[in-house]
């Protein structure tokens, strides 16, 4: 704990932590130390973990990096937090992110951007940028993030670490501040597959507080069968995309060749629906977000405008002053696609397309065990890069959103280093609930 507290202090410029629980962490360390002496400590004894600021922890502040939750303290802990604590993990603080987990750069935080520790002129990715930056800089051993469309995997790729999004329905969302409820999943960041697997196993499994969690048994990763030879698919149109950095393509091709040389079957498949992924994702997630964020009304939680004088102005001014630009854009977009006259044209169509993606994905995993792609088309971009066109930023999510649209498990792990010195991640996904096989397989690659 002292080691991490020192590092956090020394790396304040990264702006990864929004709050550090130094006193709590020291007190817990003493208790766990005694448990260790008595041989009664849990599976995560002494593991120092940071949590994204959209996961609630009883009697601690939580803000989703938004001004609208300013001063709000949680009355309860998320199921994942309870499970980590029950195994004697030490929670060292809450980590910066894009406001309400909307973004890919961590520049949409009301508390300022996070820096990439590998190159502090670059973004760490987002929305779980603080979670990635903290682990990459060694400010904690592991961290939790949330992934609605890549927010764990993309920052893991940008910072050269491991980030895992389990199947939808594997880990309880109880206590996760909702962005798009049918896409959101909590998952770990770490510097080894082993730590990812350990955290996943502790957090996964049925929860009375979240009915969307499957009652299926959580298979132990360690006791999953030897991986053997795999059938691996990749999307031909993804690799041919003009949008892909040529070095990312080359590194991916090298991985494909290596997998083949190792005796796996690797094949290009056509997936015409790839072009619809980003539009489907942004229509459905903004629709869900517009509904989920209706609760921030200036009355129930956190921030209330000092200029409000009646009910209407309380809503209007609190929301106008409390939400940042990206969140407003998404609420507007989501409200638009759900409004009468446009519902059939956008929301209804996107739902149907989502169903097609799910069916085609299930069909794909009848013929293949795994799906491979680069995690992102480019490496981390400059912190001060102008961002005039939000759709340009949205297109960068092309490879990650598929796993959330279809609910499958997906991991990003280091693939190569670009000639610009920044890391590139590779992504492997598997059929729904095959996380044990997936993790076992990627462990053979490192
Ligand atoms: N970049 C995506 C978005 O902005 C992903 C966000 C996430 O996974 N929370 O919506």
173 CA distance to ligand 1 middle (Å): 16
Confidence of residue 389 (pLDDT cuts 50, 70, 90): confident
Residue of 66, 146, 151, 410 marked active site: 151
403 CA distance to ligand 1 middle (Å): 12
**Which CATH number is 132's domain given?**
3.90.1300.10
| pLDDT tens, residue by residue, 72-100 | 999 999 999 999 999 999 999 999 999 99
Does the annotation mark 52 as catalytic? yes
In a domain, 226, yes or no: no
In a domain, 81, yes or no: yes
Could you write out the DSSP letters of every residue in 391-436? HHHHHTTTTTHHHHHHT--EEEEEEEE-TTS-EEEEEEEESTT-HH
| Residues of the domain holding 118 | 2-203
* Ligand 1 proximity of 185 Cβ (cutoff 6 Å): no
| pLDDT tens, residue by residue, 297-325 | 999 998 999 999 999 999 999 999 999 99
* Ligand 1 proximity of 151 Cβ (cutoff 6 Å): yes
The total number of residues shown for the chain amounts to 446
In a domain, 260, yes or no: no
In a domain, 373, yes or no: no
In a domain, 383, yes or no: no
In a domain, 341, yes or no: no
Residue of 127, 131, 133, 146 marked active site: 127
In a domain, 389, yes or no: no
Whether residue 224 is predicted with pLDDT greater than 90 in this model: the reply is no
Supply the pLDDT for residue 446.
Answer: 84
Supply the pLDDT for residue 386.
Answer: 83
* Ligand 1 proximity of 429 Cβ (cutoff 6 Å): no
Q: Measured between alpha carbons, how far is 354 from 336 in angstroms, rounded to an integer?
A: 19
Indicate the number of domains in the chain: 1
In a domain, 386, yes or no: no
* Ligand 1 proximity of 400 Cβ (cutoff 6 Å): no
Whether residue 242 is predicted with pLDDT greater than 90 in this model: the reply is no
| Residue 249 vs residues 6, 185, 253, 397, 422: alpha-carbon distances, Å | 39, 28, 6, 16, 15
394 CA distance to ligand 1 middle (Å): 8
* Ligand 1 proximity of 397 Cβ (cutoff 6 Å): yes
């Amino acid at each position: 704990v002292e080691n991490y507290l020192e590092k956090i202090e020394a790396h304040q410029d990264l702006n990864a932590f929004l709050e550090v629980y130094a006193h709590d962490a020291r007190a817990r360390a003493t208790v766990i130390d005694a448990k260790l002496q008595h041989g009664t400590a849990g599976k995560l004894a002494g593991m120092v973990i940071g949590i994204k600021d959209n996961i609630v922890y009883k009697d601690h502040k939580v803000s989703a990096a938004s001004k609208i939750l300013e001063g709000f303290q949680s009355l309860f802990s998320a199921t994942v937090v309870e499970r980590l604590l029950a195994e004697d993990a030490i929670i060292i603080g809450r980590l910066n992110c894009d406001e309400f987990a909307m973004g890919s750069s961590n520049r949409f935080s009301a508390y300022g951007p996070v820096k990439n520790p590998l190159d502090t002129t670059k973004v760490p990715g987002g929305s779980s940028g603080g979670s990635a930056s903290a682990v990459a800089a060694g400010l904690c051993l592991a961290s939790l993030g949330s992934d609605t469309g890549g927010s764990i995997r993309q920052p893991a790729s940008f910072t050269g670490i491991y980030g895992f999004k389990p199947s939808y329905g594997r880990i309880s969302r109880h206590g996760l501040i909702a962005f798009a409820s049918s896409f959101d999943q909590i998952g770990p960041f770490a510097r080894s597959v082993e730590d990812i697997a350990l955290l996943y196993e502790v957090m996964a499994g049925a929860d009375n507080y979240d009915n969307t969690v499957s009652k299926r048994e959580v298979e132990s990763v360690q006791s999953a069968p030897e991986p053997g030879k795999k059938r691996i698919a990749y999307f031909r149109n993804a690799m041919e995309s003009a949008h892909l950095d040529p070095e990312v393509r080359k590194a991916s091709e090298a991985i494909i060749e290596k997998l083949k040389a190792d005796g796996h079957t690797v094949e290009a498949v056509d997936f015409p629906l790839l072009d619809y992924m980003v539009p489907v994702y942004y229509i459905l997630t903004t629709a869900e977000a517009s509904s989920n964020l209706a609760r921030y009304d200036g009355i129930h939680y956190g921030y209330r405008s000092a200029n409000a004088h009646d009910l209407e102005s309380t809503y209007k001014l609190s929301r106008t002053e409390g939400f940042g630009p990206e969140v407003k854009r998404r609420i507007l977009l989501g409200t638009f696609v759900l409004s009468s006259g446009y519902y059939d044209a956008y929301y209804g169509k996107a739902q149907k397309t989502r169903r097609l993606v799910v069916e085609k994905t299930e069909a794909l995993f009848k013929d293949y065990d795994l799906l491979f792609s680069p995690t992102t088309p480019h490496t981390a971009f400059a912190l001060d890069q102008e961002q005039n066109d939000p759709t340009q930023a949205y297109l960068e999510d092309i490879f990650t959103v598929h796993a959330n649209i279809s609910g499958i498990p997906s991991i990003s792990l280091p693939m190569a280093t670009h000639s610009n010195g920044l890391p590139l991640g590779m992504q492997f996904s598997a059929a729904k609930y095959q996380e044990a096989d997936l993790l076992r397989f990627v462990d053979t690659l490192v």
